[in-house]
Structure 1
Amino acid sequence: MHTLNFPRYSFRFKNSENKVAVFDELRKKFVLLTPEEWVRQHVVHFLIQEKKFPKSLLNVEKQLKIHDLIKRYDVIAYRPDGSTHLVVECKAASVPITQETFDQIARYNLALKATYLMVTNGLQHYFCQLDYAAEKYHFLTDLPEWT
């Protein structure tokens, strides 16, 4: 797997039927290690270890219904009241971040109404904060720590 633009983290791996799996701390199980999953696992560790997000408020790979279509978000962080704090869209390192990627997370956010969005392919990270009152978003140089 690619070396990503994140701090180094410790992961647990296992081989099964000639496939490598990585342990997901949130799902509490081993999942197939794909290039996108490698990025997703780094994001989870980044949010917990660097940004101090509580594990109990993070969720990965759940279904979301948008205009009668079933989609799956990569990572979401909730606030204690159940509202959405952050939505993360992960791509494999080999996938460039394009306008289409931003459009995808924007569609998800129509239903989720997060305060922050993060788009990453593990090499490039983009963060923005949404201002719903002014109907604007602001790109940030980094994601704020959990407060």
Structure 2
Amino acid sequence: MQKLNFPSYSFRFKNSENKVSIFDSIRKKFIILTPEEWVRQHVVHYLLEEKKFPKSLINVEKVLMVNGLRKRYDVVVYNSNGSIFLLIECKAPEVKITQATFDQIARYNMTMEAEFLMLTNGLNHYFCQMDFENEKYTFLENLPKYNHKSI
């Protein structure tokens, strides 16, 4: 897999039936290694190791309903009260981040109401803080680190 714009992390791999899998410490199982999963696993390690979020507040690949349609989010970080702190959309490195990809996470967030958004293809990362009162968002240089008092 290609080098991504994240620090180096150590991953567990498994090879079976000519397919390589990577261990997901959140889902506690091996997942087939696709380019998007490679990005997702870097994001999970980034949240755990760089931003110091507790594993117990992170959720990976769950179904949600958006306008009556079943959609799947990539990564969510919860606040300790159960509200959503951060919604993350991961794309494969070859997928360009466009207005359409940003619109996808914005649609998901209309349902989920996360305070922060992250959109990444592993090479380019975009971070936003939502302002629901004024119906806008502000781009950020980075995400805040975990602070158990604020979440």
How far the C-alpha of 1:135 sits from its partner, in A, is 1.7
How far the C-alpha of 1:96 sits from its partner, in A, is 0.5
Aligned-CA RMSD value: 0.5
Answer with 127-136 or 91-100: which moved more.
Answer: 127-136
Give distance in 1, aligned partners of 2:53 and 2:101. Answer: 24
Residue identity opposite 1:90 in structure 2: C
Give distance in 1, aligned partners of 2:41 and 2:115. Answer: 22
Residue identity opposite 1:84 in structure 2: I
Which residue is 2:124 aligned to? Answer: 124
Which residue is 1:13 aligned to? Answer: 13
How far the C-alpha of 1:131 sits from its partner, in A, is 1.1
Q: Are 1:63 and 2:68 matched, yes or no? A: no
Residue identity opposite 1:128 in structure 2: C
Give distance in 1, aligned partners of 2:38 and 2:92. Answer: 8
Which residue is 2:89 aligned to? Answer: 89
How far the C-alpha of 1:119 sits from its partner, in A, is 0.2
Residue identity opposite 2:35 in structure 1: P
Q: Share of identical aligned residues, percent?
A: 66
Which residue is 2:100 aligned to? Answer: 100
Which residue is 1:80 aligned to? Answer: 80
Q: Are 1:38 and 2:38 matched, yes or no? A: yes
Give distance in 2, aligned partners of 1:121 and 1:69. Answer: 24
The one-character-per-residue Cα deviations of 1:26-52 (angstroms, maximum 9, x if unpaired) are 000000000000000000000010011
How far the C-alpha of 1:141 sits from its partner, in A, is 0.5
The one-character-per-residue Cα deviations of 1:100-125 (angstroms, maximum 9, x if unpaired) are 11000001001100000000000000
Give distance in 1, aligned partners of 2:63 and 2:45. Answer: 22
Answer with 131-140 or 95-104: which moved more.
Answer: 131-140
Residue identity opposite 2:23 in structure 1: F
SS at match of 1:88: strand
Which residue is 2:144 aligned to? Answer: 144
Which residue is 1:53 aligned to? Answer: 53
Compute the TM-score of the two structures, normalised by the length of structure 1. 0.99
